[in-house]
Amino acid sequence: MSTEEPLLRVDNLAVRYGSAQALFDVSFELPPNSALAVLGSNGAGKSTLARALSGLVPSCGGSAEFAGRDLLTLSAPRIRRAGLVHLPEGRGVFPGLTVQENLRMALVVDRRDRGGALQRAFEIFPVLAMRRRQLAGTLSGGEQQMLSLARALMVEPRLVIADEMSLGLAPRLVDVVFDSLARARDAGVSVIMIEQFARRALAFADRCLILQRGQSTWFGPATDAGEELLHRYLGEAGAA
């Protein structure tokens, strides 16, 4: 068992939208250089968790520390500059801008060396280098996901939260997403994966968090999240 301090520590995190509470006392830890699969049915609170950790929605209780810093007191741009990058559901690219302009937009927030960061993005995804002057909206779905990942990885984050990046993609392009995230892990980036393909997410991750109606119903090693557990909490469709 590693004695290394967690990269991310979440304790009793709660989020409320008006009178409706979306998260109830969610707790977990993520060590450095590791991956967490966050699973649950629609409306379980998975994306709310991602938004709270990335500063997009306020919490109403609990705490969250990233690399020793209190996340809940930081704005979204400061969280990103600290090394936590959120890739939201829906690809998050600017369709009316070229590939290169999309990449440069990411650097406006992060204030990194543009030349070096752009070169790093094109080395990770050579197909984007060939399409650098193409409008992002004309890329295929898989290429748009590559662009979204490139925007994150070019700034050398410590943690990436990938929210349903395979949603709506053909199986071959789902492979591209998983391969890209595996490449990030190999480079030392920790990953929180919110994913519809439960078995693939578990094969990728070290740990698993299952949410149900905004509450944590199970947390443990991904290898222990077997068929019975998945069917109990996710049902037939969610366990696929």
Torsion angle of alpha carbons 22, 165, 30, 107, nearest 10°?
A: -100
CA–CA gap between residue 123 and residue 227 (Å, rounded)? 39
φ, ψ at 126 (rounded to 5°):
-60, -30
CA–CA gap between residue 142 and residue 175 (Å, rounded)? 9
Query: Hey, where are the domains in the chain?
Result: 8-238
Maximum distance among all Cα pairs of the chain, rounded to whole angstroms? 50
pLDDT of the residue at 1: 44
Nearest to 191 by CA among 222, 217, 227, 235: 222
- The two tokens of residue 64 are 């969250």
pLDDT of the residue at 203: 93
| CATH number 3.90.1150.10 given to 8-238 | no
In the chain (240 residues long), the average pLDDT of successive 10-residue segments reads 80 95 96 95 93 96 96 93 84 87 79 73 88 94 84 87 83 82 88 91 95 94 86 65
Helix axes 99-110, 141-153, angle to 10 degrees: 30
- The two tokens of residue 180 are 């890209």
Question: DSSP of 68-91, one letter per residue?
Answer: TEEGGGS-HHHHHHTTEEEE-TT-
Q: How many residues does the chain have?
A: 240
CA–CA gap between residue 238 and residue 174 (Å, rounded)? 17
CA–CA gap between residue 33 and residue 142 (Å, rounded)? 25
Instruction: Indicate the pTM of the whole model.
Output: 0.85
CA–CA gap between residue 55 and residue 74 (Å, rounded)? 7
